[in-house]
A and B are shown apart, each in its own frame.
Chain A
């Protein structure tokens, strides 16, 4: 029952959360906690770091070592934490504006270093906290308050970006596929390296209303209907894949992890004495 998880992992006196009715973020937050519970991680050894935006309010509700930082910088703070104490399971909670616009540089460099941080991107395709401006993941042609005639920017594929930059575990799921977020998060935390789980969320208040996407259940149905599990991709006709978003475990590899590599330098210095 959810109540058990609530009592165990949430700061009950900080709830209810600030998210709008119908927002997908709560589902993603719960899926992260599900993953931590399933893995049996010690709460004192989990550190959740966020930036600024709707998604970044999540850590405040979660009973771990939690850090709500500056806009876009969560991964940089998290890098310092992980370097200082590699025993901590460091999880970064961030949004599409936070991670891909103002924090884009930190995202590619954390990926490149393959530092053992698990990043969950709550992607709702819009700046929600400031009232619905277009973000780097707002699809081309869609509207935001700062794209009243339609967005002419191309949108980022954050999974491709992170993979290309060096992340060693890459997955994508949606708020409709909550169990998949949980499963990918477990694998992301287990991966000794930089992991990214892009979790597609819904923002009926701004993105939905501005783009006539219906209410939250409509948008959740869209998440269901517009996605294809990577395991099914080979079995489907190409024309059925058009405009579909691929979800599931997209990439996994083994590379040297950053803090372990640094520890080797430290160890070699001690041997030399």
Chain B
């Protein structure tokens, strides 16, 4: 093992992961607390023959990465809340045209300009429903610097495999946290590339799924497969159609390519849940506080465990149902006023009590606060 161990920031690990995954193009616009991702990309990409561009806004950054991906380069952009709002238009375009790309959102307090340098997890629902219309989404959320590296690689792999925009949703704490990271050697990380067509160009249907494939094969502009791409509803040839059957089949296919492969996309961590009477559901930096709270609780004889969604979208229906069949009290802890918990409530066993603990003041949720919530509201050990 010749792996390099290095102290790095979450935002830096994101760029390192992207480069390991094969990123060749980055377009972005400066915004706190994600800017280091742009700065480090600008520094490193030309060294490997890749390209960086600072666009005039977030809208054009999103457009540029889709264009570059269509021309064959693995592409990424990064932003935070206000920029994430602006990117939504073309995230929808990438979804319907099935162009692989990675969008990083280092969440800060909102709404609007909000709290630029403070952590938040307020964009969970925006990641799912930010762009209009029914569309598939994959969103991953890391809880450590090392995991930021790993999930960035994974985000690119999912983007290529499922031909869809993939979001990496950090919070400011993870983006700016510094931890030791051992990056794998080049041949150690599994890297997935989009499948290209091999047929005669005249037989190429850019939006037809071949038998045994998950998604249509993707030619790059300039490869000799001249084809048309549009954000309008289109048939298998890629040209617009108003046919209601074609429209329905297209949107269903987009949804099903994720839904049918949900096990491959479902990432999560379970921590001391086996004997637990109470489960905390928490993700990102909040899960770190939760783990610490669990250790304290167990020292006091309260059996608490953690379920940490790593994939926040698509929602982990199966796992949450399983969890709530087994454990009768769960508490969802998140830095917002209740977003992920809405989905937990949707799928939870009716006999399971779902508690909420959230905050939007720009401060981390501490282990003590979680412990207090457990002892108070959940167990009614005081003042109930």
Interface residues of A (CB under 8 A from B): 11, 14, 43-45, 47, 49, 59-60, 63-70, 73, 75-85, 87-88, 105-106, 109, 262, 265-266, 269-270
- Contact mask B223-261 → A, CB, 8 Å, 1/0? 110111111100000011000000000000000000000
Q: Known: A70-B89, A79-B60, A266-B49. Is A84-B229 also a contact (CB below 8 A)? A: no
Task: State whether A60 touches B27 (Cβ < 8 A).
Answer: no
Q: Which residues of A contact B55 (CB under 8 A)?
A: 76, 79, 109
Q: Which residues of A contact B230 (CB under 8 A)?
A: 60, 67-68
User: A68 — nearest CB in chain B belongs to which residue?
Assistant: B230
* Count: A-B pairs, CB below 8 Å: 137
Task: State whether B71 touches A88 (Cβ < 8 A).
Answer: yes
Q: Which residues of A contact B51 (CB under 8 A)?
A: 83-84, 262, 266
Task: State whether A85 touches B221 (Cβ < 8 A).
Answer: yes
Q: Which residues of A contact B358 (CB under 8 A)?
A: none
Task: State whether B226 touches A63 (Cβ < 8 A).
Answer: yes
Across the interface, A65 reaches (CB within 8 A) one of B47, B63, B89, B221, namely B221
Q: Known: A79-B53, A88-B71. Is A265-B46 also a contact (CB below 8 A)? A: yes
User: B56 — nearest CB in chain A belongs to which residue?
Assistant: A109
Q: Does B84 contact A (CB under 8 A)?
A: no
Task: State whether A83 touches B63 (Cβ < 8 A).
Answer: no
Q: Does B222 contact A (CB under 8 A)?
A: yes
A-B CB proximity, top 4 nearest: A80-B67, A80-B64, A76-B60, A76-B63
Task: State whether A76 touches B64 (Cβ < 8 A).
Answer: yes
Q: How far is it, in angstroms, between the C-alpha of A253 and the C-alpha of B71 when the chains are bound?
A: 29
Given contacts A49-B67, A77-B66, A84-B24, 13 further A-B contacts (CB under 8 A): A44-B222, A60-B240, A67-B67, A76-B64, A79-B53, A79-B64, A80-B27, A80-B70, A83-B51, A83-B64, A83-B67, A84-B68, A109-B56
Q: Known: A77-B63, A80-B71, A85-B221. Is A262-B46 also a contact (CB below 8 A)? A: yes
Task: State whether B224 touches A44 (Cβ < 8 A).
Answer: yes
Q: Does B90 contact A (CB under 8 A)?
A: yes
User: B231 — nearest CB in chain A belongs to which residue?
Assistant: A70
Task: State whether B56 touches A105 (Cβ < 8 A).
Answer: yes
Q: How far is it, in angstroms, between the C-alpha of A73 and the C-alpha of B228 when the chains are bound?
A: 17
User: A74 — nearest CB in chain B belongs to which residue?
Assistant: B63
Q: Known: A69-B63, A70-B93. Is A80-B25 also a contact (CB below 8 A)? A: yes
Interface residues of B (CB under 8 A from A): 24-25, 27, 46-47, 49, 51, 53, 55-57, 59-61, 63-73, 75, 89-90, 93, 220-224, 226-232, 239-240
Q: Known: A83-B53, A85-B222. Is A78-B229 also a contact (CB below 8 A)? A: no
A selection of 6 A-B contacts at a CB cut-off of 8 Å is A60-B239, A67-B229, A76-B67, A80-B65, A83-B68, A84-B68
User: B25 — nearest CB in chain A belongs to which residue?
Assistant: A84
Q: How far is it, in angstroms, between the C-alpha of A214 and the C-alpha of B291 when the chains are bound?
A: 75
Q: Which residues of A contact B46 (CB under 8 A)?
A: 262, 265-266, 269
Across the interface, A64 reaches (CB within 8 A) one of B24, B53, B93, B226, namely B226
Q: How far is it, in angstroms, between the C-alpha of A76 and the C-alpha of B59 when the chains are bound?
A: 8
Task: State whether A105 touches B25 (Cβ < 8 A).
Answer: no
User: B240 — nearest CB in chain A belongs to which residue?
Assistant: A60
Most buried by A among B73, B75, B229: B229
Q: How far is it, in angstroms, between the C-alpha of A80 and the C-alpha of B66 when the chains are bound?
A: 7
Q: Which residues of A contact B89 (CB under 8 A)?
A: 70, 73
Q: How far is the CB of A32 from chain B (nearest CB, A)?
A: 16
Q: Which residues of B contact A83 (CB under 8 A)?
A: 25, 51, 53, 64, 67-68
User: A266 — nearest CB in chain B belongs to which residue?
Assistant: B46
Q: Which residues of A contact B49 (CB under 8 A)?
A: 266, 270
User: B53 — nearest CB in chain A belongs to which residue?
Assistant: A83
Q: Known: A47-B222, A60-B228, A265-B46. Is A84-B72 also a contact (CB below 8 A)? A: yes
Q: How far is it, in angstroms, between the C-alpha of A67 and the C-alpha of B67 when the chains are bound?
A: 9
User: A268 — nearest CB in chain B belongs to which residue?
Assistant: B46
Q: How far is the CB of A42 from chain B (nearest CB, A)?
A: 10
Q: How far is it, in angstroms, between the C-alpha of A139 and the C-alpha of B334 when the chains are bound?
A: 54
Task: State whether B226 touches A44 (Cβ < 8 A).
Answer: yes
Q: How far is it, in angstroms, between the C-alpha of A266 and the C-alpha of B42 when the chains are bound?
A: 11
Q: How far is the CB of B217 from chain A (nearest CB, A)?
A: 16
Q: How far is it, in angstroms, between the C-alpha of A270 and the C-alpha of B48 when the chains are bound?
A: 8
User: B75 — nearest CB in chain A belongs to which residue?
Assistant: A80
Task: State whether A67 touches B53 (Cβ < 8 A).
Answer: no
Q: How far is it, in angstroms, between the C-alpha of A3 and the C-alpha of B76 when the chains are bound?
A: 43
Q: How far is the CB of A185 from chain B (nearest CB, A)?
A: 19
Q: Which residues of A contact B25 (CB under 8 A)?
A: 80, 83-84
Q: How far is the CB of A87 from chain B (nearest CB, A)?
A: 7
Q: Which residues of A contact B60 (CB under 8 A)?
A: 73, 75-76, 79, 105-106, 109
